[in-house]
Structure 1
Amino acid sequence: MKATSSSQTYRLATGYAFGLSDIGLVRRNNEDGFLIDEALGLAIVCDGMGGHDAGEVASAEALVLMHQCIAELDPHAFASGPREDPDATLPGRYSVKSDGTAPQAPHPVVTATTRAVEHVNDHLYAMNLSDRRADGRGMGTTMTGLWRQPNTATMVAFHVGDSRLYRWREGRMLQITRDQTLYQQALEAGITINLPARNELLQAIGPSPLVEPEVHRLTARPGDLYLLCSDGLHGMLADNQIADVLRQTAPESLAACSAQLVELAKQHGGKDNVTVVLVWFDA
C-alpha cells in the first residue's frame, strides 16, 4: 500500500495500478494524496484544501480512514443484495422519485461504502470542530476511489468533490463521476454566461456535518483502464488530451503514461497539484 507517491507498478489480483503525484508549478506544497492497496483492490485520490498544512492533513487523514473502513467491510456484500443494473449510478442518499414511487433499495455494498465515506466525513468534521474551523470554514478534501474485490467483476466507485474517475473502454473515454461544483450545477441549469469559478465545491469531506457522496456499482471488463485524478489534471487538460494518452496506455506503460499526463498538465500551466492513478484490469 502507498499513500503519497509511487515509483512502482502494483500487481493487483485482477490487473495493475500505478500512481503519481506532483506539486505542479505554482503551489508551495502538495495537498494531494493517493493510496493503492493491491490486496484490497483499492485505489483512492484525495485533493486537500484549507490553507497552510491543513489540506495535507485532510487528504492524508481521509486516505487512512477510508482504507481502514474498506478493510473492515465484508467482501461477501458484493455477492448479495438486489440484482440491479451493475453500471447504474447509485447516489449515496435516496429520495422519492418524481412519480411518487419509492426508489430501488441500494445494493448492500453501496450502502456500506456510503456509510464509510460518511464516517470519514464525521471524523474530519470533528477535527474541525476541535480546532473551531467547522461549518464550511475548516480543512477538507475531495475523495474519489475505486474498489474491486479479486473474486468478482463487480466494483464500487465512490466520489465527493471535483476529483474525477474516467474509464477507457474499447476506444472510448467516459467520465464516471460528476463534479460536485457550482460550475457544474450552473452548466446543468443551462447557464452559459457569468459562470462561477470551476473549483467552488458543493461537497467536500470535512467542512460540514453532512456529506452526500456519489456511489456507483460498476462491472469491470478485461482491457478496461480507469483513471483517477485530481483537478490539477482535468483542470489543465481537455478531455481529448487525456484520451490521447489513455489510448496508448498498456499494463507495461502505466508509469510512463502517468508521467506523461502529469507533464502535460504542467506544460499547460501546472497551476495546481497534479495526481493521477491508473488502474488496468486484465481479468
Structure 2
Amino acid sequence: MTLKLRSAGTSDRGLIRSGNQDALHAGSWLVAVADGMGGMAAGDLASAIAIEAVAPLDVATPEDALVAALQSGIQLATNRIRQAVAEDPQRQGMGTTLTALLFARTGSCLALAHVGDSRAYLFREGVLKQITRDDTFVQMLVDQGLITPDQAGSHPRRAVVTQALQGDEVSPTYATMVPRAGDRWLLCSDGLSNVVRAETLSEVLAGHPDREACTRALIDLALRAGGPDNITVVVADVADEP
C-alpha cells in the first residue's frame, strides 16, 4: 500500500469584497493557497501568478527534490510578479501570500512552503495543529509576549503582513514532514482563519469525511461569521491506497 494525497478546494468572494483576490490549486501531488493584495486587479494578478508558477510542480517528485522544487516555483513566481510590476507601474505594491504542500511520489514525505498569513493546519488523530507561522505584525507582537494570541485576533493591525511575494527577494519558510494514513490537511486564506476559531475548524474537519462537503461547510461558517474577506479552503487527505 502507498500513501496518496486526495484533495478538494473551494473559494468564495465573501460578503463584503467586490471581487476575489484569492487563488488555489488542489491536485494529486500539490495543494496551494494564495491570497493577493495591493488593489483589486493587482491582487488578483499576483495570486494567479503565484499559483500558475507552482502548479507545474503537481507531478510525482522524488522526496529529496521536494524543497528544491518548491524553491524554484517561488522564485519563478517572484520573477513573474517583478516583471508584471515593471510592465505596469500602477501594479507597484501588489503581492500575494503563498502556502503550498508538495507530496512525494513515494508517499513517504511531504514538503511545505509558506510566506504570508495563509495557513496550513494538520488534523491528525483528532488533534488540530497549526503548522505554519503567520508572517504578520501581530504574530511578532505575540512572539515578543506583548499581546496574547486571542488579542491578536482582534488587533487593528492584524492584516499587516511582514512578508509576501512582491517581486523582491523573500525568505519563505520550508519544512518537511512524514505523512501518516488518515492525516487531513487544511490550507486556507485568512478569510477563514480570522473569523472561525480553531476548535470549530477541528469539529468540521472531524465531522465531514467528504472533502468537498468539508470545504463547503468551512466556507459557510466564514460566511455566517460575516464573510468580511475572500475565503479559500483546500482540504487534502492522506489515504492508504494500493
Q: Same fold (TM over 0.5)?
A: yes
How far is 1:57 from its partner? Answer: 1.0
SS at match of 1:53: helix
38, 49, 56: which one aligns with 1:61 = 49
197, 217, 234: which one aligns with 1:238 = 197
Corresponding residue of 2:14? 24
* TM-score (norm. length: structure 2): 0.89
Paired residues of 2:58 and 2:102 also in contact (CA < 8 A): no
94, 119, 130: which one aligns with 2:87 = 130
Spell out structure 1 runs of 4+ moving beyond 3 A.
193-196
Corresponding residue of 2:171? 212
How far is 1:47 from its partner? Answer: 0.7
Paired residues of 1:144 and 1:160 also in contact (CA < 8 A): yes
Q: Which runs of 5+ in 2 are unaligned?
A: none
Corresponding residue of 1:177? 132
Q: Which runs of 5+ in 1 are unaligned?
A: 1-11, 81-107
Alignment of 1:76-91 (within 5 A): 76=62, 78=63, 80=64
Corresponding residue of 2:107? 152
What are the Cα deviations for residues 65-100 of structure 1, in whole angstroms up to 9, with x where unaligned?
A: 1123x258x823x1x4xxxxxxxxxxxxxxxxxxxx
176, 196, 200: which one aligns with 2:160 = 200
What are the Cα deviations for residues 94-131 of structure 1, in whole angstroms up to 9, with x where unaligned?
A: xxxxxxxxxxxxxx532442243123112212221332
Paired residues of 1:118 and 1:211 also in contact (CA < 8 A): no
How far is 1:256 from its partner? Answer: 1.3
Corresponding residue of 2:23? 33
How far is 1:183 from its partner? Answer: 0.7
Identical columns (%):
34
How far is 1:158 from its partner? Answer: 0.8
User: Larger radius of gyration, structure 1 or 2?
Assistant: 1
133, 136, 139: which one aligns with 2:94 = 139
SS at match of 1:222: coil
Paired residues of 2:30 and 2:58 also in contact (CA < 8 A): no
Paired residues of 2:66 and 2:102 also in contact (CA < 8 A): no
Paired residues of 1:182 and 1:196 also in contact (CA < 8 A): no
Paired residues of 1:133 and 1:139 also in contact (CA < 8 A): no
Matched, 1:116 2:73: yes
| Partner amino acid, structure 2, of 1:21 | S
Matched, 1:254 2:242: no
* TM-score (norm. length: structure 1): 0.77
SS at match of 2:107: coil
